[in-house]
Structure 1
Amino acid sequence: MEEEVAPSAAGAIDAVEAVDLGGTAAAAPDFTFFGMFMQADFVVQSVMLMLLGASVWCWAIIYDKYKRLREVREKADDFENEFWSGNSLEDLYDRTRHNPDHPIAMLFVSAMREWQRSTTNRTGKIAMGAQERIYRVMHVTVSREMERLEHYLSVLATVGSTAPFIGLFGTVWGIMNSFQSIASSNNSSLAVVAPGIAEALAATAMGLVAAIPAVVAYNVLSNDLGRYANRMEGFAEEFGTILSRQMEEEHH
């Protein structure tokens, strides 16, 4: 009789263990990024979505600025080659004034337009103060064109400086929730703590993913824009010297 009951009891124990293991496996946390996002608290989810949006925005700005800088450098090379080729500046102005599609062309067109306005129609002489006005126009054009090129660049600086702290906020919030779960369940085992901490640390990782490319791109683009600004100022000085020399010849 005892030999018949023992196998039956052992089977029942095995069945209970199987059900327990099956339930544990079913309730096992998903440690993929998407799984941690879905299991996270609403605040942590909001932080992750905010950082993801900031990262996408930064990459769009980086791509746009890189493409635009490469385009204006190539066009500036072609324009300066033509400018210094010895051909007539009036002919170059006539071809460029209707569609100045890069900053140095805009600088040239602005200066030449002011040059022509400063020439009286009756005598062909240069009006008084023309040189000062031309330099002022070129200075304003350089500032305006550089402002256009630098547009949205401050977004990279802002994301690079704030994203790690936003991610840290999500981490702190998630760890606080983990400690509350420990207190409510009276269980401090790693199986209870690990999912919440992993979800919290994912927010910090998202902050770094958004911040690091933004900081690197901001530094690189700032240097490139600084060099291009120096190039525009150098062209303005050289072009101003040419116009000044021509003014002196007109007066003599």
Structure 2
Amino acid sequence: MLTTYHELNGDIHVLYEEPSPLDFMRYVAKNRPLAVRGGCSKWLAVRKWNVDYLQKIMRDIPVKVAITPLGNADSAVKNPEDGLTYFAKPFESDEPFSTFLSDLQSVNTQTTAQLVKYSQAQNDNFRGEYLPLYQDVEADIRWASIALQKEPDAINLWIGNKHSTTALHRDNYENIYCQILGSKDFLLLAPVETACINEKFLPSAAYAADMSLNPDDPPAQVPYAVWDPDKPEENSTAFSSLSRPIRVKLDPGDMLYLPACW
């Protein structure tokens, strides 16, 4: 089935103009991702945002910041204290935006980082703590809202640097990513490749302020994919070799539609 699926679907489809709601719905129906180059290039944010502008607008407004030793939030980490591998959640702190942005810049100049900060909240934070910047983007992506007959449940703003990574995971929502500044590399797996990723239950823990790992109390188990497509020989299953990861890079102004469960 995996081989047939990949033969029929191939690589990601790329458009260079906004799709109509009907055209977009065809990708939703097929549960296939779509890149739209320049899809949000006309937004004020893409044209105006830089470090000075962000500092001017946000100043010292407190924002939620995720902190990890190596930019590895929500990933599998071996705890040197007990030798067990945990699903490690970040330490979270409220910081003035100016402090957060300054730290991002200083760490970004380092080859390796020992403390990585990332704004990664998924609680509609663009219409919350980042509301002063919200005026620079469209309230919704019209062709998507019309096609899905629904306004966005949440609009999130994520800010990080080259040291921030996101572990392999799936979302149960239709997502559209819009790149404003910098670039982001995605590695995508189709839902049909679940047999490839070697999902296991790991005990959950969270980083403390000193970056030690504290197991959750009461204990909890979290499903996590221990196979990494970038290290295909490690933790593989009998089907991992049949995986065909899709790699996509977003540059400023680009959009990526990621269907549910990808």
Q: State TM-score, norm by structure 2.
A: 0.20
Structure ranking higher in strand proportion: 2
Q: State TM-score, norm by structure 1.
A: 0.21
Higher Rg: 1
